[in-house]
Amino acid sequence: MLYRLPLIAFILALCIAPFMLHGYPMLMLNYVGLSVIVVLGLVLLTGVGGLTSFGQAAFVGMGAYAAAWLTTTQDWNPWLTLLAGLLLTTVAAVVLGWVTLRMSGHYLPLSTLAWGIAIYLMFGNSQTLGGQTGITGIPPLSLFGWQLTESWQFHILIWGVVLSIIWTVHNMLDSREGRAMRALKGGTLMAEAMGVNTTRFKIILFVLAAQYACVAGWIYAYMQRFVNPTPFSLGQGIEYLFMGVVGGIAELWGGVVGSFLYALPREWLHSHLPSLLGRSGSFEGIIFGVLMIIILQRAPEGLWPHLHRLWPRRVSAPDALSNAAAAPLDRRLRPARGELILQLNAVTKRFGGLVANNAISFEVRAGEVLALIGPNGAGKSTLFNCISAVSPPSSGSIRFLGKPVERCDSRKVARMGMSRTFQHVRLLPRMSVLDNVALGAHLRGRHSFVASAWRLDRAQEQRILATARDALERCGLCEKAHLPAGSLPLGQQRVVEIARALAADPSLLLLDEPAAGLRYLEKRELGILLGRLRKEGLAILLVEHDLDFVMELADRVVVMDFGEKIAEGLPQEIRRHPAVIEAYLGGVGDAA
Amino acid sequence: MTFDIALYLGQNGVTLAAIYALLAFALVLVFAVTRVIFIPQGEIMTFAALSLVAMRAGHPPLLAWLLVGLGVVAWLQDATVILRTGQSRRLLRAGIVYLAPPLFLLAVVYSQPLSSLAYPLQIAITLAMCAVFGPLLYRVVYAPAAQASVLTLLLLSVALHIALNSLGLLLFGPEGSQLPAFTDGSFQLGGMPVALQTLWIIGSSLALLAVLFLFFRFSLYGKALRATAVNRTGAQLMGISPAFAGGAAFLLAGVVGAWSGILIATTTVIDYEAGFVIGLKGFVAAIIGGLASYPGAAAGALLVGLTESFASFWASAYKDVIVFLLIIPVLLWRSMASGPHDEEES
């Protein structure tokens, strides 16, 4: 329980605050709370999703103006205006996200810059919204006939919202879809291969961040009882982001700490700097700008991780592992041994004039290991990309379990039962081994992030984790389950990738150079593992450089050179095949 | 709208476009070479314009002191590395590299009778200051984080923008100012009066773009920068230092930014925070070109300039809203045209 102590102290402090603080400090605490709500959204977007937005203040403004305008001119119920504001921000965020998130990561922040300015100018120029003076005379918020007008009432509301956001987001990230969100930082290629719709999750994160901002704006409007454009400027949007960066944008509590650390000195500087410099104006930007540059250069992870080291961490208990009673997820029907799994027919891939693969045909059957070998530049990786649906072939057909897949995307083939590893290990280094493997089972779960946020998914989550443990057990890595994946040696990381692929319950396992960079003993263990999986009836296609490894393990071997298939057969036949010997050692006639 | 008005708005739009094109060009260049999205370009514009205003009023521009300050910081940054490796002779060299140009400029602005210098000479001093300003900003702010993600570099840019913006208020005060035209007068073209200054703006912008085109096409340094833009690691293996390429890109961005700042200050009143919005319009233009294509950025600049000009006629209060929201249909079109792609393969 020791690790919970700071949290308990924090909540206690919040409970005592209304009795200790009055007037301005109380108000200040409320403003910090509103900032925290916005910054928590940015933690999701930036810390989890690796995206960012400078336009959060515009979403706060949309929430505030929706509340102000609808209650003063249309006589709406304040609680209905919250729904209207949320709807408005959601639509805006979906449109912005859908337009920008399909492209590189820097388009979203750039368009939120433009968005932030445009919305702010719109507030200031629209006569309907009161121009620069804004909207006054907003009626107070009431709940069951109880009017919210005092600071302490808003204190309860605001910090209640903050704590419930922290709780729900914490739950959400610790679930099937939460893992998918955390996988966004590991690159789209890996996440998509695990069946994660990366664009969808990026949009979800952006929409959530916009909605939190909208809620903050809505509360702000009823707390102030008037709104004007100033607090919703682009500058304010940038400040929210800075709060996150100061505190540590990768973690929820970093956002909380950052808001306090930023808001309090800012207030002081704003009132004292002009007299120090002997001029009027806001100069705190100089200090904050420079401070931010130093933090980004020296400690881009923010202050929270450093603070966090001061007290004991939660120790992930290995006993939680053993007493989990949940059964792994149901497996799909396994194809019978010897059944045709993958069939390539005259697959050709051209890059402009270069023919990387020329009319390649072969088959992989259940319960066999087929090795694809060839010298550098033979076109193995290109073919691997065609099969795993990363880039479609120029012509020819690929049939997986009898269905054509050459025009599918990698999510679709993952759903059909094809699972892969990567030549350059693509794990999420800071996530635990177990979570990394559980990501592989993404497509086998159903619950959405909304259910997870309120812990309605626990039964299924237990089964997913049981599946991941089962996969780890099959690979002999059970005792490493709770270590961060990045702490493992390369050989074990490759095995974790295989376990992740197994968690998807595949019919076909695609391995891209699994033995690369492994030591002799590690290779032998890998060989034993793959042999066991073959016995379970899995079809395995592996691309490999290491001839000894391949010859010992593979049932059949396909050899490629210069984009052509030059030989196919049993390992011992391949060893004696003249074309193979020539490709690897150079022809006798070439010797100069 | 009559034909005359349309013609006038068109001319105004093309003038604006000429300036945005320069900005967009510099932004694309800096992004390609260093992956930095250079938001503070706008501050370089205002600092240049307001320094020139100060010089014409006979005050030594405080920008010179800022340059000295940046030079000292850059030197200290290098000194920490140099002292750790114990090569004390390089300490002196770094000091000369970082401090000699700012100190020289400081001496110039404090020794010359600034207000009585010829206008072109005043402009030349301003451009020289910004030519030093750009690389120093790169060295002090971006170079220590050169390996960081595009996102971190973008955050650095925004932090730098905030710092420079407030610093601008401190150095130049809150008042707005305007610069006189390079040459007064106008002539008739198809029944429409055209100011000579308009010719200056469009002509110099085109000339500068042409010079830069020739530089990148034919000179060795230009080719080195292009190589770095295509493949940083590959260029490094060929002996092109990324720090050099970054500094060179920022030097060009400094000069181009300063020139556009001076041009725009001859057409409208500029205050310490005006540059940001103008710079962002350059960004909209660059984004239309996908942050990668120079002709695309030029076309984007034309679109932004004309949109702004015509929007100011129909809905003057909303002209900036319209220009900035232009980015949404443009990005939609781009994302439809290019389709999804993977940005991680770096």
| Residue B192: strand pairing partners | B189
Do residue A110 and residue B283 have CB atoms under 8 angstroms apart?
yes
Do residue B141 and residue A293 have CB atoms under 8 angstroms apart?
yes
Q: Beta strands of A24-72 (E only): which ranges?
A: none
Structure tokens at A151: 């600071």
CA distance B15 to chain A (A): 22
B/e letters for B282-311, b = 16+ CB within 10 Å, e = fewer, are bbbbbbbbbbeebebbbbbbbbbbbbbbbb
Closest CA to A580 of A540, A551, A537, A542: A551
Position B345 scores a pLDDT of 35
Do residue A289 and residue B344 have CB atoms under 8 angstroms apart?
no
| Residue A403: strand pairing partners | A400
Among B175, B321, B322, B346, the residue to mutate for chain A (most A Cβ within 10 A): B321
Contacts of B86 (CB under 8 A, 6+ apart): none
| Residue A142: strand pairing partners | A147
Task: Give chain A's mean pLDDT.
Answer: 88
CB contacts, 8 Å: A241 with chain B? 155, 158
CA distance B199 to chain A (A): 30
Domain boundaries, given as residue ranges, for chain B: 21-273
- Which uninterrupted H or E stretch holds A271? helix A252-277
Do residue B162 and residue A99 have CB atoms under 8 angstroms apart?
no
Do residue B340 and residue A277 have CB atoms under 8 angstroms apart?
no
Say whether A510 sits in a helix, a strand or coil.
strand
Do residue A293 and residue B160 have CB atoms under 8 angstroms apart?
yes
Do residue B169 and residue A110 have CB atoms under 8 angstroms apart?
no
In terms of Cβ atoms closer than 10 Å to its own Cβ (0-12, 13-18, 19+), residue B152 is middle
Banded model confidence at residue B343, pLDDT cuts 50, 70, 90: very low
CA distance A70 to chain B (A): 23
Most confident of A369-378, A516-525, B134-143, B242-251: B134-143
Please, how many CA atoms are within 13 Å of residue B177, restricted to the half-sphere of its CB? 21
CB contacts, 8 Å: A300 with chain B? 145, 148, 152
Do residue B166 and residue A277 have CB atoms under 8 angstroms apart?
no
* Chain B residue at shortest CA distance from A52: B151
Residue with the bigger pLDDT between B68 and B182: it is B68
Position B346 scores a pLDDT of 33
Q: What is the DSSP string of B231-299?
A: -HHHHHHTT--HHHHHHHHHHHHHHHHHHHHHHHHTTS-B-TTHHHHHHHHHHHHHHHTTTT-HHHHHH
Nearest Cβ partner of A283 from B144, B170, B284? B170
Closest CA to A362 of A546, A576, A543: A543
CB contacts, 8 Å: B145 with chain A? 296-297, 300
CA distance A119 to chain B (A): 7
CA B133 to CA B44: how far, in whole Å?
Answer: 8
CA A387 to CA A397: how far, in whole Å?
Answer: 10
Do residue A296 and residue B338 have CB atoms under 8 angstroms apart?
no
Q: Phi first, then psi: what are they for B137, rounded to 5°? A: -60, -40
Q: Do the Cβ atoms of A56 and A42 come closer than 8 Å?
A: yes
Task: Give chain B's mean pLDDT.
Answer: 88
Q: How far apart are the first and last CA of chain B?
A: 51
Say whether A396 sits in a helix, a strand or coil.
strand
Position A458 scores a pLDDT of 85
CA distance B205 to chain A (A): 25
pLDDT for A413-467, tens place per residue? 999 999 999 988 999 998 999 999 999 999 988 888 888 888 888 888 889 999 9
What distances in angstroms separate CA A99 from CA A160, B68, B332, one per listed residue? 34, 44, 5
Position A307 scores a pLDDT of 84
Banded model confidence at residue B319, pLDDT cuts 50, 70, 90: confident
Nearest Cβ partner of A300 from B152, B164, B332? B152
CA A407 to CA A393: how far, in whole Å?
Answer: 8
CA B267 to CA B245: how far, in whole Å?
Answer: 33
Q: Phi first, then psi: what are they for B200, rounded to 5°? A: -55, -45
Do residue B328 and residue A103 have CB atoms under 8 angstroms apart?
no
Contacts of A299 (CB under 8 A, 6+ apart): A306
Sign of the Cα torsion A24, A27, A29, A34 reads negative
Q: What is the DSSP string of A136-184?
A: --PPPEEETTEEE-SHHHHHHHHHHHHHHHHHHHHHHHTSHHHHHHHHG
Do residue A286 and residue B152 have CB atoms under 8 angstroms apart?
no
- Provide the residue type at B61 as one letter: P
Q: Phi first, then psi: what are they for A537, rounded to 5°? A: 100, 10
pLDDT for B169-191, tens place per residue? 989 988 889 998 888 888 887 77
Q: Are strands A340-351 and A354-365 parallel, antiparallel or unpaired?
A: antiparallel
* Chain A residue at shortest CA distance from B40: A289
**Do you know the residue count of chain A?**
592
Q: Do the Cβ atoms of A439 and A502 come closer than 8 Å?
A: no
CA A145 to CA B323: how far, in whole Å?
Answer: 46
Closest CA to A525 of A501, A571, A489: A489
Contacts of B3 (CB under 8 A, 6+ apart): none
Phi-psi region of A284 (alpha: psi -120 to 50; beta: other; left: phi over 0): alpha
Angle between helix A151-173 and A252-277 (nearest 10): 130
Domains in chain A with CATH codes: 2-232 (no CATH), 328-417+506-592 (3.40.50.300), 432-504 (no CATH)
pLDDT for A47-75, tens place per residue? 898 888 999 999 999 999 999 999 999 88
Banded model confidence at residue A319, pLDDT cuts 50, 70, 90: very low
Among A293, A381, A385, A390, the residue to mutate for chain B (most B Cβ within 10 A): A293
Torsion of CA A406, A410, A414, A420, to 10 degrees: 100
Nearest Cβ partner of B318 from A104, A125, A281? A125
Q: What count of other Cβ atoms lies within 10 Å of the Cβ of residue B128?
A: 17
pLDDT for A229-275, tens place per residue? 999 999 899 999 989 988 888 889 999 999 998 888 888 888 888 88
Angle between helix A176-183 and A198-224 (nearest 10): 100
| Residue B188: strand pairing partners | B193
Do residue A110 and residue B342 have CB atoms under 8 angstroms apart?
no
CA A306 to CA A105: how far, in whole Å?
Answer: 28
CA distance B163 to chain A (A): 4
CB contacts, 8 Å: B277 with chain A? 117
Among B66, B283, B314, B324, the residue to mutate for chain A (most A Cβ within 10 A): B324
Position A592 scores a pLDDT of 38
Do residue B151 and residue A96 have CB atoms under 8 angstroms apart?
no
Q: What's the CA angle centered on B249, arms B243 and B254, to 5 degrees? A: 120
User: What is the DSSP-derived secondary structure letter of residue A488?
Assistant: S
CA A466 to CA A460: how far, in whole Å?
Answer: 10
CA A574 to CA A581: how far, in whole Å?
Answer: 9
Banded model confidence at residue B69, pLDDT cuts 50, 70, 90: very high
CA B108 to CA B113: how far, in whole Å?
Answer: 9
Q: What percent of chain A has pLDDT over 70?
A: 96
| pLDDT for A590 beyond 50 | no
Q: Do the Cβ atoms of A565 and A361 come closer than 8 Å?
A: yes
Structure tokens at A496: 């974790």
Among A200, A279, A296, A410, the residue to mutate for chain B (most B Cβ within 10 A): A296
Do residue B158 and residue A297 have CB atoms under 8 angstroms apart?
no
- Which uninterrupted H or E stretch holds A370? strand A369-373
Helices (H), B3-62: 3-34, 41-56
Among A104, A201, A381, A385, the residue to mutate for chain B (most B Cβ within 10 A): A104
Alpha carbon of residue A183 to chain centroid: 4
Structure tokens at A563: 């984009």
User: What is the DSSP-derived secondary structure letter of residue A44?
Assistant: I
Sign of the Cα torsion A132, A135, A140, A142 reads negative
Nearest Cβ partner of B151 from A50, A188, A238? A50
Do residue B321 and residue A121 have CB atoms under 8 angstroms apart?
yes
- Which uninterrupted H or E stretch holds B193? strand B192-195
Q: What count of other Cβ atoms lies within 10 Å of the Cβ of residue A392?
A: 15
| pLDDT for B302 beyond 50 | yes
Do residue A292 and residue B318 have CB atoms under 8 angstroms apart?
no
CB contacts, 8 Å: A288 with chain B? 159, 162-163
Alpha carbon of residue A243 to chain centroid: 21
Q: Among all chains, which residue has been given the structure tokens 């009559």? A: B2
What pTM, to 2 d.p., does this model score? 0.89
CA distance B153 to chain A (A): 9
Helices (H), A388-478: 410-416, 433-440, 449-453, 458-474
ipTM score of the complex? 0.90
CA A421 to CA A429: how far, in whole Å?
Answer: 16
pLDDT for A466-504, tens place per residue? 999 999 998 888 888 899 999 999 888 999 999 999 999
Position A318 scores a pLDDT of 47
- Count interface pairs A-B at CB distance under 8 A: 148
Structure tokens at B218: 């034919």
What distances in angstroms separate CA A47 from CA A167, A179, A485, B306, one per listed residue? 17, 13, 19, 39
Alpha carbon of residue B239 to chain centroid: 27
Q: Are strands A556-561 and A539-543 parallel, antiparallel or unpaired?
A: unpaired
Angle between helix B41-56 and B242-265 (nearest 10): 50
| pLDDT for A23 beyond 60 | yes
Banded model confidence at residue A18, pLDDT cuts 50, 70, 90: confident
- Provide the residue type at A80 as one letter: L
